[in-house]
Structure formats: C-alpha cells, structure tokens
Structure 1
Amino acid sequence: MKQSRFLIAPKWPIALATVSVVALSASFAAAQDAPAAVDDAGRTGPRTQLDTVVTQATRTETSAQTTPVATTSVSGAQLERTFATDLRDLTAAAPNVNLEAVGAFQNASAFFIRGFGSADIESATDPGVGVFIDGVYQARSSTALSDLLDITTVEILRGPQGTLFGRNTIVGAVLVSHGKPDPTEFDMKGEITAGNYGTIDVSAMINVPLVADKAALRIAAKSTNNDGFYKNATDGTNYGSTDRITILPSIRFTPNDNLDIVIRGEIVRERDDSWGNTPYSACGGSNGVFNPFAADNYGSVPGNNTQTVPLIAWAYGGQAEIDKVCAQERGKNDFIVHADNTSGRGSDFDIWGITGEITYDLPDVGTFTYVGNYRDVHENVFNDFDTTDLPIFMTQREQWHYQTSHEFRFSSNFSDTIDFVAGFYYFHQKYTMWQDTYGWLFDPGFGAALGSAIGGRLTGAPNPGAALDALNPNASGFGETIQDNTAWAAFVNANWHIWNGITLTAGLRYNDEKKNIETCAPSPVNDGVNRECNLNPLVGNYFDSDVDIDTAAGRKNNWSNISPKVGLSWEVNDSLFLYGSWTRGFRSGGFNGRCGSTFTCQPYNEETADSYEIGAKWDGLDNRLRVNLTGFYIDYKDQQVSIIRQSSGSGGGQETVTDNAANAKSKGIELEVTTLPADGLTIWGSLGWLKSSRDFCTDIDGPTTVDPGPASGSCDPDNAFSYIDNGTTFYIYPTQVLVPLTRAPKWTLAAGFAYEVPVGNAGTIEFAADWRYQSKNNQASNGVPAGVTTGLLNYNGVLVTPIRSSAHIFNASITWREIEDRYRVSLFMKNIGNVHYMQSLTAVAALFNFIQDNNPRTYGVKVAFDF
C-alpha cells in the first residue's frame, strides 16, 4: 500500500510541545473539571442526609438536581462500595444504560444508552456513546475498559450532548474524572485486593505539595492480575488472564487565585491473555446426532443449517469433535474453551498520553478553558476465533493509533438573566492496522481437502481428517487499513432566566469532519512479508478513498452538520425542578475498514437523532428522599448499523460493514429514587422502561452471484447494484430485515442499600448489597439466522438464538472502617448466584458463531489505608 500521505510515525513532538507551551502560558486558561458528586467531607459518623451531588453536565459546576439533563453521578466512594474494576461495573448505576464488553477483545467496549450505541472495535467507526476522561474524548472503544484508578466521579449523561461538549455525542456520554493534585496537604492511600481466580490487585496514590498553596504533585499507580475465568481443555491452562500496570502522574500549579494549571500523564502497559471465546455455532441434526445436510438453510452449504467451522470439525474428528464447537445450554461448561495455541496468543496494549488543562477566571467577565491532549496506543492482539482445537481461523491484529485534540471554552454569567458557554474544538486521529488472518481456510487446497474429508467421513474411511492435516496451518492472508480523520466544531449553549425560576435554554453546534482511508481485506494475494496491499483491482480489493469513491452515487468523505437544542426549565421551589428539551444529535459518516471488496468499501452517511425529553427532580423530607423521573422519545434517522456478512473478496469469505440500514425510534421512562430512612441507612433504586423499533433495510447476506431481479423490488433501490470481481458478477440487494435493536432490553431495574453500624471507638461496619435485573434482548445486529432472530435448532436440542435471556445479579459486601477512616477492610462477593448468561455474541456470517459469558461468581478481600 502506498504510504505517501499516511506515515505510521505520529507527530507527537508537535502535540507535546503544543500542550506544554499552552499549559505554561498565562495568556490561556482552561477548566479543571470538578468532581461530579461530593460525599460528606470529614464525616466520621453514620450518614444523616443524602450527599450533595454536583455535576459538570453543563460544563459549569451546578447542582445535579437543578440541571436540565438526565444525569447519574457515581462518586469514588460509591465505586469503592461496588468494588468496580472498570466501567462495566457501572451498568446498574443508571436506567436504560448498558456498559458492557464487545467480547472479542479484552478492553473493547459496547456502550449503549436508551437502545443506541455501538459494539465495533474498529477505529474506522466512531463510538455511539462518547467517553470523556478528564474532559478528553476517547476515540478508541478498544481501550474504554481500562482499569479504574484514582477516580473522583463518573457521570453518565443520557441523550445528545453536542452543544456543550467538544466532541459531539449522539446518544449520551460517560464522564470520568480523576483526582487532581492538592497543593494544601499531603495525602497517601493504597489498596490490596485478593480474590478467587488468582486475583491480586494493588493500587496506591501519593499527593505531595511542592510549594504551599501553589504547586503539587500526584502519582497514582495500579497493578491488576488474575488467572482468567476460562479453562482451556486443549492444554489444561487457564485462559483470559489479565496482567496490567497503570500509572497516572499529574502536576498542578495555582500561582494565583485566578489561574489553575493541571498537566496529567497516562502510562498503561497491558499483557493480557487472549479473550476466551466459547462456541455457539449452528450445527444441524436431531436427537443428539449431527447431520451435515439437515434442512433449514444457514448458508455455508446449500440446503443445511450448519456453519463451515463445525462442518470442518465434524469432517476431521466426527461426533466427538463437533460436540466441542456447537452451542450448549448456558451454565454447562460456560468457561471451557477448546483453543489451538500453536501460533501463540495475547492481548498486548501500550498506551501513553498527556493532557493539559488550564483554568483562568477573569473577575466579573467569565472563565476561559483550554483542554489539550495527545494519546498514543499500540496494540497487538491474537485471537483463536474458530473456538476449536484445530488451526482453522485465527487472527493477529497489530494497530498503531494516535489522537490529538484541543478544546477552548468560555463560560460567563453575562448578566443577571443570561449565562452561556461557547467553545471551539479541533480533533485529529490516525490509525494503521495490520491484520494477519491464518489457518487452514487460507491454504489454496482447502476446498479440495474439506471435500475429501467430508467424503471420507460419510463413507467411513479410517482417517478422513488426514486430508486436512496435510494443509498448512500457517497459511495466511494479510490485510491493512490506514485512516486519517480531522474534525472541528464550534458550539454555544445559552440560558435566559426569564422570570421566577423559569429558564429558556438554546444551543447550537456546527460540526465539520473529513476522513480518508486506504484499505484491503486479509487475503493471500496481498504481500504479508513487506506488509503491502495488492494494488491490482483484478485480484485484490484495494480501496483508496481519494480515487475510488463513487461520487456519482452521492458518496463523499466529508460531513458537516448544524445541531440545535431548545429547552425550558422551571425551578418551582427549593425541592422541585421541572424541565423539557429537544436536542438533535449527530454522528458523521465514515468508511468500512473491514470491507471485503472495493465495491463494499464505499462510505456510509451520517446519522442524526432527534431527542425529546421531559423530567422532574425532587428532594424532600429534609434531604432524606430524592426522586428523579424522566421521559424521552428518540427519532433516529439513517442509523449506522454494523453487520458481519459473507463477502466476495475478503479472506475467510466474510466482511464487516457499516451501513445506513435503518430509521429507528425509542421511547421510555427512567425513575431513580434514593432515600435515607434512618441514620446510616441508604436505600436506592432505579427503573428503566424502553420500547424501541426500527425499519431495518440492508443486504444482510452480502454479495451473491444470483441475480435478484429489478432493483425496484429492493427496499432501498438506490443502493441495489452489481459489480464484477475476479470475472464474476455479484449483486448487492438490500431487503427488509426483521432484527430489533441490539442491547436494548425493555426493562432494566436495580436496587441496593448500604447500612452503617457504629461500633464505638472501633469505627463503623457497613453492610451493602445490590441487585440488577435486565430483561431479554437481542445481541446480534444481523440476527441468527441472518435477517431474523428466530434462531436455529441444533442436533443437541439447543436453540442457537441471538436473544440473551433475562438475568438477576446480586452482589454484597461487608466493610469495617476505622473511626477516622484511615483503615478499611472489606469482604465482597459479586454475582452471588453464579448466574450465567450470554454477555455478547458474534455471528460471523456462514463461518461460525462465538460468545462470551458474563463474569462468574467472584469474591475477595480488600485492605485499604488513607493517611
């Protein structure tokens, strides 16, 4: 692949110099995001009132109870109480929120709010839910589940947030705030956690004033280790372990009362094991006997419902081998994998970054804010995706990614009746990905060998698998993707306090984004030695956005948008706050970084979402009861949906594409209640109800050689077309698809309590427990079988379905705190009932399916100190 425009080496010295110069210049200023929730500082006895909650949802420090945004704040103390390790542990914190893992990769996030989000690991796809760490947007979903360390608060904002944030967020945002250096006092704290599955986590923080009231240094560090939840039956070893080190250094300067400068560093080294993928393939037959020619077409072989990988396993080893790779009922060998390790495995990440934050208050005028960041990520991930002990389909992905961003904001109480926030944002990211996909599937003799093995198995030959053993297990196909993305935006949000607690809010955002891409899917025709694509369009699938965009069809590589917001709020009295709003969210178009042919690499368009929201927030009973109620309706246009389907050109015969496949709608209700009925006893609960639907129109099966007839019969005639690849004509023909939104359960409920019991001069003992319920929901955007969610019945009686069953999860803990909270000892248990369910499903066209289960029962002890 030509490299003239996209150099792998990032321009980090420029970004570093920019952040450093701005950070040390008094002519600029930036805001240090304040904690979103404040616990009772200095409290030594049982809690007597609900904690004050402060939010940064409007980019200025306001009470969450008088902020016209559906926001849930989780303090650092609450995170400790739930023994959270990453953002997945906050799924129960807010209604209609699912913060989960993609599943195929250790750190990759699948975040969904109110039925919408994204579950794609690729940098080519922008996350649907924005994650902001200390005010900086994180472009990589593959690193969103890094370890939590030295957290002051996490806020979950539901709904579009574009008129107040540098990077637009179409369905919601997660704001993570770390502790910042304190120049007034020395502080040191640490924790050690030991638990089952070999868990040993150690973390520490030290805060040192360098110049009294003027400068301070803070360093937090954490080591995370466990043996993994999975057992590899092939060699008897544990599978899916973690081995991580995170270091967060920061320094702060406060030369005067108006200027505040914070410079943060990020250093992460992860040497995790590969993720444990368990089989969930479709295998035809009945009464416990596999039949490779069972009815109900799945797509791998005409006339059967068996995918290719289990067919290979059966041809190689018969019934005993196929029993390992087909779907089983959850709860039976959930954490047993059959993985071939001859080619190595691992999930290695090296991350470093620097952020400069500056705040300058201009008395009687306003506050200037600058946040600048540079972040560099290198990853090298191996996965044995076929879930067998045979070398059929394995991948190794090495990727280099960097991003830099600069955000300027100015907030002002312009007058007694008007205040506003205005800002400008610049963002640039670039990534290069090398993917080697290898195994028997890439050997030129694979088709003949499989046919011979199937014939031998059917005729009772003594060793039908010999033909497959003769294949090269290291046969491979190389693929590469390079993308460059530049975006800028201007935004303003103003409040007009009309009269007697009534406020009119109006906001506007302009966004401009441009992307360029070069890509080729993994294939033996590419040069894996020199790491280059084959540029010959007759044999490869090379795509260059500079020359290959089909402009005649209206395709483009740049997108712009104007997004408004209008709201009205009323602070009725000191206890009751009412609000309503309409906001338009926007996410730019992009390219398919894992397309299978030049003709399916074409860009997809932007999507928009009109969100209507009304809410009521009430505090009463002398600040012992808090009730927040929200209703919403979202009208989604041109929803971007990622699907895995068969392909005409990519290695392995499958491709991942994103398409503007749907218009969708969701509506729902969210209720959050917190009460303190007695001193020291806090009880909370939440309820989310969601009803969603969508008009899903796409080519779910991918390119086919069968002429479907006139395009007028398609649900999207403008995107029905044919093309010639390697001399063969293929057809793309969008049809109506009966697949609901993914990760959009109708009901999400949660409840919990914390009860502090004084034990004299010995301190307090806190008993805490919580419960989370999630109703059934779809896990695969392309369905099973493709296009529907009816599922396929296996020979062993298991229904292979993309529908996750409902589940109840219970957690509990006991914590002793020394009277001044200098020492703590906790015993905890998560998922007490050891409930198992399908946390994520990847249906890889006609090849195979694999899933990851939720974490099993875990327990441990934590010892902490704070001096």
Structure 2
Amino acid sequence: MTRLPSTSSLYALAFATALGGIASPAFAADPPAPAPAAEPAADDIADTSHDVIVTATRKETRLQSTPVAVSVIGEEFRATQNVVTTRDLAGQIPGLYTAPSGITPLTNTFFIRGIGNSDPIFDPTVGVYIDDVYLPRAINGMSDLTDVERVEVLRGPQGTLFGANSAGGAIRYVTRTPGDTLEASGDIGYGNFNTVNTHGYIAGGIVPGVLAASLAIAHDQHDGYTWNPTQKLYVNDQNTTGGRIKLLFTPTSTLKITLAADGTIDHSQAAQYTATTYNATNPALSGLGAITGGTLYSPTSFSAYQPNVSYAGRYPINQSRSGGVSGRIDYDVDSHLSFHSITALRGFVQDPVNYNNDGQAKLPYNSAQPRPVELADNYITYKQKSFTQEFQLQGNWNAFDFTAGLYYLFEDFRSDRIGYVTGLPASDTALPAAPFDQIGKTITRNYSAYLQANYHLTDKLTLTAGGRYIIITRGFDFQGVNYDLDGRRIDPTLYPQVLTGGAIPALGINVATSQVNFNNSGVLNRKTWRAFTPKAGISYQVTPTIFAFASYAKGFDAGGFNNRALTLATALPYDPETVNTYEAGFKTDWFDHRLRINATGFYNDYINLQTGVSAFSPISGTYVSTRGNAPAAHTTGFELETSGQPTRNLALAFNVTYLKTRFDDYSAPALGTVPAYNYTGKQFASQPQWQYFASATWTIPLGDHGTLKLGASGNYMTSYFSDTLNTAQYQIPAHGYANAFVDFETADHRWNFTLTARNLADEFYFSSLTPVGAGIRAGPYAGTILLQGAQNPPRTIFFKTSFKY
C-alpha cells in the first residue's frame, strides 16, 4: 500500500494555514455570528449572517452571550467530515477526550477537563442527554447523528440544571423538531473496508398547524479493520441499524406536546485488542506481538508485532439492542411563565457480548494443564431499564428570570460477567484460575430539586445563582459463581472442592478460596447519599462583541457499590466524588464578525475521586483492593477556541486545550496482603497535556454549476500514561491524525457529492496499554510483560451522495 506524506508534514501545513486567521467553537460549519444590525456583504459566499443558538442553560441563548464553556457541532461540519457518531469527533473538541474505539461501536466513555469514567459499568461522570433525557450508562450510549440538529459539549459541572451525574460536563444531542413544512433528506455512501452508510429523514405536517411528524433511519456498516491471523478473518467490524420517530402536537398556541421513540440494533463484532510486549531486562525482546509457540509459562516463539493485528482466539460476539420513548409537554402559562414536563422510559440489552482483551491466541497453559486457554476473555450479559420524570418551571420578569424543577430517576441495571482471566502461570505445575461469574443487580433512585436564577443588574451585567439538592438511594445484590473452562457452573455435588477452594485436577482449574460461591445478602448492600450542589456566576457584555464571565460550581457524582467485586470482601460501597470548579472566560468577535476568539481558564478541586484504592473491609477485617476514593486531586488548564473568515472564500478554525492533572493525596502503606502504593503527585491516566485541532475550508464558486469546497483538518495530542503510576512502558506517544474532504453542491443546494478521507497517513496508535498477567516466568522470553490495548481505525476513504428537499 502506498504511503502518504508523513503526519507531521500534514499537521504543519494545516496549522500554518489555520494560524493565518484564528476563530470559534462552532467550527466552519457554524460561522461567527454578527451583531443583529450587521448585514453581510453582498458577495459573501460563507454565511456569516446568523447567530449560533444553544440551549446549554435550558433556554435558547446566543452562543456568544452564554456564560457557559460550550462547543457546538453543526450539521454542515458533520456532513463534510463524515461524522456518524460522537466518537468521530475524538480530538476535535476542546477539553473533550474520548477513545477512538470501544468494546462495541455503541459503547463510549467521555472525559472532559481530565475527569470521566473509563469503565462503562459504573456511572458516567460526563452526562449524556438526548433531548434532555439522561442516559444513565455509557453502555449502548451512542447513537447515530442522522436527525441531530446540533451537538452541544458543555464543559465543567452542570449539576444545577441537568439531571444526574454531570460533574465533569455534559454532551447534549438536540434532535430536529418537525413542522408543517415538508423536509426530506437522505444520503448513501460507500468506502474502503466495504463501508456502507445510508441515512434518511422526512418530516412535515399531517394536520396543518396541529400535528407534524418526522422519521429518521440510519444504517452503518463496514468490514473489520483488524486482521486476525488466528481466525483468518478481519475483526472489529460495524453493523448497526437505528431509527427515530417524532410527533409534534400543537392543539393551541400555548401548548406543545412532543412524543418520540427511537431504537438501535447493534450486530457488530465485539472488540478484539492488539498485543505487544515489554522487557526491562532485555529490551531487545520488547515490542513483539503475540505468543505463537510453547506454553504460557514458557513460550518458545513470538510473532513480530504488527499494528492493527490481533491474534485473539475467540470469535467476537455482540448482540445489542437499545432504545426508548419520551414525551415532552411545553405550556406557556402566560407571557412570563412556562411549564415543561419531560417523561422518558429507556433501556438496553447486550445478550451476549463476548470479547477478548488480551490479543493472544489460545495456548497450552503449562505441563499441568496442556489444554489451550485464554489469558483474558469476557462473556457478558447486560440488561438495563430506566425511567425519568422532570417537571420544570421557567419565569421571566423584567430584570429577573429563573429555571426551577423537580427530577426523578429510577434505574434497574443487571450485569452478568463471566471472566476467563487465567493470567500467566506462576509455575509449570500451577492450574489456571477458574472462570469467575460476577452477577450484580443495582437499583438506583435519584430525587432532585433545582433552581437557577439570573438577575440583570443592568442591560450588560448579570448575576447568576442556583443549586440542586440531591438524594440518591442504591440497592446492590451481588453473587460470585465459579465456572469451568467450558463455561459451565461447577456442581459442588460432583466437585466438593469448590466449597472450600483449591485445585480441581479433573477440571484442570484452581478455585481461589476467596472466590468460592458467595452472595452479599448478609452485608451492607443498601445506602443513601445526599448532596447540595450550588452555582454562582457573573457575566458582563463589555461591548456588543465582547462577553466575559466567571463562575463557581460544585459537581457531584453519586456513590455506589463495586460491581466488579472479585470477593465478598470487596463488594463494598464507595463514596460520592465532588468537584469545586472555578472558571473564567471571554467570548469575542472581531473585524466585522470575521474572527472569533473564545477562551476559558479553569481550576477543578476534586474530593474523594472515585478510583481503585486500598480500603478496610468490615467483611474480612482486612484491607482489600477495591473501588473506592482517592482523597484529593485537581486539574487546571485552559481552552482556546477560534474560527474566522479572513477572505470571502477561506474559513479557518483552530482550537487548543491545555490540561494539567494531579493526584494531591492518593497513597496507602502496605497492609497485610495488600501492597503499598503512592500515586500522590502523579497525573491522571489517559489524559494528554496538550490537544490541538485545526481546519481550513476553501470555497470555490462555480456559477450556475454550484459550489466546490476543499477542506483539510488535523488533530494532535501530546503523550500520556495509561496507568496511574505513570509507568514508562505504558506511555502512549504523542500522535495525531490528518483528514481531508472535497464537497460539490449543486446550484439549487439540493445535492451534495462528498469525498472524505480520515487518518490520511494511515497511522496506528494504542489508545491505552494494560498488562496481561504478571509476566512470563520461564524460557527464552522470561521477564517479558504482555501488554494489550485497542487501536484507532486505519485510513478510510468514503464517497457520499446526499439530497435534501
């Protein structure tokens, strides 16, 4: 395959171009908004005549006059960049980090300003909302963006106005609302890896002025990106189909009722990871790929490491379904007061998901167990359903306006995870650990009341104050069950050793004494947490084009129970984490609205950050390794968002994120069998210190034939560590990607033909690296540590035809 120019040269070109005219968070798709009285020049080609409207404060405001750090991604940007899901925006939004791949295509975790939750089984710290309906889990949390009008990324705690667990920030999908006017759009495209994407949308009036409806459908598929020599097939494919229907009923001028239903079926393969190695004693042995000969205790040969190649020995299975229904009532009591009700029922099922996360083929364990086994494999069933109800009242009287509400969330989350985590053998006579099944049920109830008010001291100066009171109750039922290597529950009447732990030679496994069948019915498994999260802010419209703001906000992420407990002693509750955030920024337009520069600085002070810790277990009377809380941490940094139109044909954007993360108090001495650790002063895992994004779009008018656009973009991030100890062998090097597009639009603005290329240089990087077992014990590769992780998609080229009416 012919290699393209190096990534560094492409970035240099993109950034040098972008620096010629810096400007805003709306990218070229949503250009800078002029003051209301401004009129665009008659020969302007790019549209600079509209305001970017957001609802980040639960009401419509101009982006440039909203006292919140928010980025907006519009439809045009998504269309030309072939953005199908939010994961495609990785590296392009200031302050936002998301891995370019996940366990399934619809499972994604988000970090904003260094804080998030990389484990989708726990509560997301960054809240995700579809039309103000909260998604309680990152599992099956992504949706196709076919009928999404815009995506709003809100940075910093959003606890005052948004439903639950938005301590890090919020991502809001705002879908289109149908009206009387007939709208229709669709696209179909094809690319390498047999990529086929097709989307359709139709909306219009059924009873003029009274009832309107819309329907959106989407299907996205591609062959596997990753070659698997073990199975002799490509893995990590995608095959998702979804849709949304929306009804708008307006019986009177003051009452609006919106009903919506959506669903997605995901039959993509589950993820398979790529493997590499590290050997501190003999560096020449580092960087190899999978074990290909011998046993796991004493391998005789390795394959050469190859990017985007997985040797995983089990076929990846994924059968997932998700969806929900919602109803919204908007009623104007009078010209000053409005009432809103949002009711939703959502859920998902993954039954099953079977993924291999070691990147290794099955091999004989050792002499005592010659049967080929997995190092790390998971067979999972997840089932979830949630109900949310929100009542909201909004008022506006002269210099005073407010938003107040009541919020309720009920969630029933069931998890059944069989972990085939045999690891590497400690000796040539050891038996592999028995597969262990973690069966959990978590019932959550969230009761909240909130109020946020603005007082306009003058027509330029505004004070903001608010707060939310939260009560969260959780019940947790958990049991651990032992299985054999074929996935069958071990019958204690046939193998009584399972009742006391130890080796079961007939099954070729060892049952850990601490993992003998148990449940948590006799220990603490119900708990309630309460919190108050205030907010205070000030904003000032310095001039018609300069807006400044500063605020303090407290964020809250609920406590819970360890749903990944490996023993009864570790099935413990952990406390909520809180964050006190201080931020200040400005939003500006320059040169008759051709240049926009927005910047925000922030400081986040975290208390009881949720992570892995040593904690005293009242169940065992000892210290155990479990999910708990690091006492103190902080993040600080700034975000610069710029976009501009230096000439009538050229649109530019350039964004910079600086983030410094540190644990201020995160250590524990050795306690019994629990080893000591000291992470104080270390930086957070998976958080680059610098992120950059730049784009340039050149518009060429072709008269009566239409318009041609040429675009290029690049994103780059500095290195980061995959582990909390900041170990060198788990460091991800600095990297980035370059993209480009060509778009032709017909003169009637109805047809677009777009060619998009992503990851032009076909670069591969791990998004994280974690060890598999303690290391190889014997043989020519003794001391070698196996590492595994997911990698980004390869270069993709995609051609799309789209139509709109």
TM-score (norm 1): 0.78
> 2:465 and 2:555 mapped to 1: Cα distance?
14
Retained in 2: the 8 A contact 1:477–1:526? no
Aligned partner of 2:727 among 779, 787, 790? 790
Aligned partner of 1:133 among 130, 134, 139? 130
Alignment correspondent of 1:147:
144
> 1:831 and 1:59 mapped to 2: Cα distance?
36
Alignment correspondent of 1:478:
437
Deviation, 1:494, is: 0.4
Retained in 2: the 8 A contact 1:543–1:601? no
Matching residue's letter, 1:58 = T
Distance 1:185 1:205, change over 3 A: same
Retained in 2: the 8 A contact 1:815–1:824? yes
Alignment correspondent of 1:46:
45
Distance 1:428 1:843, change over 3 A: farther
Alignment correspondent of 1:435:
417
Q: Is 1:509 aligned to 2:447, yes or no?
A: no
Retained in 1: the 8 A contact 2:131–2:174? yes
Q: Is 1:640 aligned to 2:610, yes or no?
A: yes
Deviations 1:768-813 (A, max 9, x none): 11111111112234xxxxxx3233xxxxxxxxx2221111311110
Matching residue's letter, 1:548 = V
Distance 1:532 1:158, change over 3 A: farther
Written as runs of structure 1 = structure 2, the 5 A alignment for 1:645-656 is: none
SS of the equivalent of 2:529 reads: strand
Retained in 1: the 8 A contact 2:445–2:474? yes
Distance 1:638 1:194, change over 3 A: same
Deviation, 1:107, is: 2.9
> 2:571 and 2:293 mapped to 1: Cα distance?
30
> 2:705 and 2:394 mapped to 1: Cα distance?
47
Aligned partner of 1:740 among 678, 683, 702? 683
Aligned partner of 1:195 among 181, 186, 191? 191
> 2:660 and 2:710 mapped to 1: Cα distance?
36
SS of the equivalent of 1:820 reads: coil
Alignment correspondent of 2:96:
97
Distance 1:208 1:644, change over 3 A: farther
Retained in 2: the 8 A contact 1:526–1:540? no
Alignment correspondent of 1:410:
393
Alignment correspondent of 2:789:
851
Deviation, 1:167, is: 2.0
Deviations 1:520-541 (A, max 9, x none): 3453399976899999997646
Deviation, 1:835, is: 2.0
SS of the equivalent of 1:855 reads: coil
Aligned partner of 1:658 among 627, 631, 635? 627
Deviation, 1:39, is: 10
Retained in 2: the 8 A contact 1:102–1:120? no
> 1:421 and 1:845 mapped to 2: Cα distance?
52
Q: Is 1:378 aligned to 2:349, yes or no?
A: yes
Written as runs of structure 1 = structure 2, the 5 A alignment for 1:47-446 is: 47-49=46-48, 51-101=50-100, 103-122=102-121, 125-182=122-179, 184-283=180-279, 286=282, 288=284, 314-315=295-296, 318-320=299-301, 322-323=302-303, 328=305, 333-341=306-314, 344-379=315-350, 380-390=352-362, 391-392=373-374, 393-413=376-396, 415-438=397-420
SS of the equivalent of 1:581 reads: strand
Alignment correspondent of 1:773:
716
Alignment correspondent of 1:22:
none
Aligned partner of 1:862 among 795, 800, 804? 800
Alignment correspondent of 2:693:
750
> 2:259 and 2:625 mapped to 1: Cα distance?
39
Matching residue's letter, 2:67 = P
Alignment correspondent of 1:796:
none
Matching residue's letter, 2:787 = N
> Which structure 2 segments of 5+ residues have no match?
1-28, 34-39, 363-372, 493-497, 502-512, 776-785
Deviation, 1:249, is: 1.3
Deviations 1:739-765 (A, max 9, x none): 421232211111112222111111101
Deviation, 1:397, is: 0.1
Alignment correspondent of 1:817:
745
Distance 1:310 1:546, change over 3 A: same
> 1:749 and 1:440 mapped to 2: Cα distance?
41
Matching residue's letter, 1:755 = W
Provide the aligned C-alpha RMSD in A.
3.4
SS of the equivalent of 1:849 reads: strand
Distance 1:310 1:213, change over 3 A: same
Alignment correspondent of 2:653:
684
Retained in 1: the 8 A contact 2:87–2:101? no
Distance 1:488 1:846, change over 3 A: farther
SS of the equivalent of 1:634 reads: strand
> 1:132 and 1:313 mapped to 2: Cα distance?
50
Distance 1:733 1:532, change over 3 A: farther
Retained in 2: the 8 A contact 1:505–1:568? yes
Retained in 1: the 8 A contact 2:149–2:174? yes
Retained in 1: the 8 A contact 2:230–2:312? yes
SS of the equivalent of 1:142 reads: coil
SS of the equivalent of 1:670 reads: strand
> 2:790 and 2:614 mapped to 1: Cα distance?
17
Aligned partner of 2:528 among 539, 544, 558? 558
SS of the equivalent of 1:80 reads: helix
Retained in 1: the 8 A contact 2:744–2:752? yes
SS of the equivalent of 2:646 reads: strand
Distance 1:540 1:417, change over 3 A: same
SS of the equivalent of 2:560 reads: coil
SS of the equivalent of 1:363 reads: coil
Retained in 2: the 8 A contact 1:639–1:661? yes
Aligned partner of 1:618 among 588, 603, 606? 588
Retained in 1: the 8 A contact 2:228–2:312? yes
> 1:130 and 1:810 mapped to 2: Cα distance?
29
TM-score (norm 2): 0.84
> 1:141 and 1:265 mapped to 2: Cα distance?
19
Retained in 2: the 8 A contact 1:50–1:676? no
> Which structure 1 segments of 5+ residues have no match?
1-35, 291-304, 454-467, 551-555, 650-654, 700-712, 715-719, 723-729, 782-787, 792-800
> 2:734 and 2:131 mapped to 1: Cα distance?
35
Identity %: 26
Retained in 2: the 8 A contact 1:542–1:597? no
Retained in 1: the 8 A contact 2:659–2:688? yes
Q: Is 1:839 aligned to 2:776, yes or no?
A: no
Retained in 2: the 8 A contact 1:210–1:216? yes
Retained in 1: the 8 A contact 2:639–2:658? yes
> 2:380 and 2:420 mapped to 1: Cα distance?
11
> 1:246 and 1:196 mapped to 2: Cα distance?
22
Deviation, 1:287, is: 6.4
Which structure has greater strand proportion? Answer: 2
> 2:686 and 2:661 mapped to 1: Cα distance?
11
Retained in 2: the 8 A contact 1:50–1:624? no
Aligned partner of 2:579 among 606, 609, 612? 609
Which structure has greater helix proportion? Answer: 1
> 1:142 and 1:574 mapped to 2: Cα distance?
44
Distance 1:310 1:483, change over 3 A: farther
> 1:238 and 1:56 mapped to 2: Cα distance?
43
> 2:349 and 2:703 mapped to 1: Cα distance?
52
Deviation, 1:172, is: 0.6
Distance 1:109 1:101, change over 3 A: farther
